[in-house]
A = this chain, B = another copy of it.
């Protein structure tokens, strides 16, 4: 994409009404715009990151046999009265109406699947969606980490036996770790409260100083335990040495068993539910990968792999743009003529694409300068060897 076509502008100063680092950087770099507390617009660069994360999540969900659907946000009161959750504080309610906005979808998916699961022959089934969720959050001050409107992937599974639920639960765990690995987010499987029906549930916690949770990582086996439920020794290996960290929950899986199937009279069916916040994941990546100049995107989720900067307004940059596009690289091409080299470099560092390629008179006819975001060192590369080097540096 030519940067002269991109309508967003970068901002030098931090927005005054944002305290979280992820929101500050994402707003300054033109990825998101704040509409109100915890409510953001995803601008072209931001939507590209969202779509990259969604693609990874879809691939991993599909790989464990889950089928994608899309449920509504407008929920009738009746469904929520059946489970006794109409009164929960999280739900935005429509004025004068018997409806609320979905902040989770057990009350919708359970009666839906009841229509299609007619006997145990129809089990197991796995269904997910990626969709906007709404939560009445009194303190939405953490940018994309805690929104009043946010994108979430929610998967629900339906089983005949506990063994089958247990087996699928382990598969989801693996799929979640693959998602975080592809997003370059180091996460810890963390024991958390299991509510009424299980001893524990599992959270996936990513270490970040902006995190709202405290977790204790067992120094022996690597399992983490949420502060809420921590006892003296690790329930997995009985070790008593832990490392305390601030962390953000980027996923949450739960054996619901009959908690929702029973009130909806869905007989002999055990359920699991598995949440993963798409936009929260994006915020967590920004909290993890940044420096004083801006964001440092991992290549798998970056809006572009390469930021091509033209400092000489010649055909050479145009040619390189074409060469890179022909190799299917996603390139942001800074073709703006009214900006100084300094302004272009600052924008590039703030936006944070993995590779920067600079075309200038300084380097000579056949050469370009190439630099990895987050590293100081630049290299002079012959254009003929460009693709080979880009490939190597993006690995």
Contacts and interface: CB of A to CB of B under 8 A. Distances in A.
A5 B127 CA distance: 11
| 9 tightest A-B CB contacts, nearest first | A42-B70, A93-B95, A95-B95, A36-B76, A7-B125, A44-B67, A39-B72, A41-B71, A74-B149
A73 interface: yes
Nearest to A113: B7
A118 interface: yes
Contacts of A40: 72
Given A33-B115, A108-B35, A42 B69 contact: yes
Contacts of A9: 115-116, 118
Interface in A112-171: 112-113, 115-118, 122, 125, 127, 132, 134, 148-149
Contacts of A134: 73-74
A84 interface: no
A88 to B, nearest CB: 14
Interface in A50-104: 50, 65, 67-76, 92-97, 99, 101
A43 interface: yes
A6 interface: yes
Interface in A9-47: 9, 33, 35-36, 39-44, 46-47
A50 to B, nearest CB: 7
A76 B33 CA distance: 14
A112 B112 CA distance: 38
Contacts of A70: 41-42, 46-47, 50
Interface residues of A, number: 50
A162 to B, nearest CB: 21
B132 A7 contact: no
A393 B210 CA distance: 58
A346 interface: no
A8 interface: yes
B108 A72 contact: no
A71 B36 CA distance: 12
B65 A44 contact: no
24 contacts: A7-B116, A7-B125, A7-B127, A36-B74, A36-B99, A40-B72, A41-B70, A41-B71, A41-B72, A41-B108, A41-B112, A42-B69, A44-B69, A46-B70, A47-B69, A72-B132, A73-B132, A73-B149, A92-B94, A92-B99, A94-B94, A95-B95, A101-B101, A132-B132
A132 B65 CA distance: 27
A220 to B, nearest CB: 41
A73 B75 CA distance: 15
B132 A67 contact: no
Interface in A222-273: none
A93 B92 contact: no
Nearest to A150: B72
A69 B43 contact: yes
B73 A73 contact: yes
B149 A72 contact: yes
A45 B8 CA distance: 37
Contacts of A67: 5-7, 44
Contacts of A95: 92-96
Contacts of A96: 95
A362 B26 CA distance: 63
A35 B118 contact: no
